[in-house]
Amino acid sequence: MEERSMEAERLVIEDGPTGPRMTRCHGCKQAELRDAARDLSRDLDGHLFIAAVPAQVCGACGEVTHALDDLARFDTAVTRALVAVGARGPEAARWLRKAAGLRAAELADLLGVTPETVSRWETGKHPMDRATAFTLGALASAGPAERAAAVDRLRALGAAA
């Protein structure tokens, strides 16, 4: 088992558009929302990542709401940090696969392994080897166009095998 790290890594999420803003709290319906930031954290295989994420906080009931775009930017920051630390454990494997937008069967097909192998990575029976972790990390942290090109290359490699 991987050692549980006690150290939290603080991430900075990118600025960007957040779409339409709420004008009333969806909890108590009061129009007392103010902009703030709230820490969100994610613990994956003992790597703890924390970031201050923009939020709307209700002054009446205390309800905290994050825009979906800000939550997506938090996830992106976590993905990049996870790749940067070289995480290869089960939670990292599943997180990175999902960040790459792949189902387990698709990933198995792209990498030329069985679905059982992907399952072993994600249940912690066997860590991803370094080459797999590198490839999955690259897929997960790439932008959409870059990712599509990488998937095409993996498909070509599979077809040529």
Binding residues (CB under 5 A) for Zn ion: these are 25, 27-28, 58, 60-61, 63
> In this complex, which beta carbon is closest to Zn ion, that of residue 25 or of residue 92?
25
Distance in Å from the first CA to the final CA of the chain? 34
> In this complex, which beta carbon is closest to Zn ion, that of residue 60 or of residue 156?
60
> In this complex, which beta carbon is closest to Zn ion, that of residue 64 or of residue 154?
64
Q: What's the min distance (Å) between Cβ of 50 and Zn ion?
A: 25
Contact by Cβ (8 Å): 70, 36? no
SS3 call for 28: coil
Q: How far apart are CA 90 and CA 64, in angstroms?
A: 31
Q: What's the min distance (Å) between Cβ of 81 and Zn ion?
A: 32
Q: What's the min distance (Å) between Cβ of 21 and Zn ion?
A: 15
Contact by Cβ (8 Å): 57, 38? yes
Strand partners, 65: 56
Q: What's the min distance (Å) between Cβ of 26 and Zn ion?
A: 8
Strand partners, 33: 58
Work out the number of other CB atoms within 10 angstroms of the CB of residue 79: 22
> In this complex, which beta carbon is closest to Zn ion, that of residue 16 or of residue 62?
62
